[in-house]
Amino acid sequence: MTNLVFVSLLLITILVSTASAQGGIASCCRKLSKTQVQRENLMDYYKQNKSACPINAVVFTTRNNKRICSDPKKMWTLTCMAYIDGKNSQLQRLT
């Protein structure tokens, strides 16, 4: 019985440490949002891969530090990503 408890605790420890190393389970998008804000209100984005989280998504961060989990195949998502990339490249040229 003691071995079963030890193995169980070991597995839980491994799962928790793996989730923490990947930014935590709570930081993953679990579903895609249909919310579309004006692109001027978007500050940044990153791509969430299905290898670390349950779904593929593009995660936008707004000026109010809200996260929007978007479908990477939607035209709105692609347009906003291009807008942010263009805005960032202009800022890099100015500095």
What are the structure tokens assigned to 17, written together? 């440490």
Q: What's the chain's average pLDDT?
A: 82
pTM, 2 dp: 0.67
What domains appear along the chain, each with residue ranges and CATH number? Answer: 26-94 (2.40.50.40)
Q: What is the dihedral of CA 77, 79, 81, 86, to 10 degrees?
A: -170
Contact 44, 58 (CB under 8 A): no
Sheet strand arrangement including 42-48: 42-48, 57-62, 67-70
Helix (H), strand (E) at residue 76: helix 75-94
In this predicted model, which residue has the larger pLDDT, 72 or 50? 72
Specify the pLDDT at position 1: 58
From the centroid of its chain, how far is CA 87? 20
* Tens-digit pLDDT profile for residues 30-49: 999 999 999 999 999 999 99
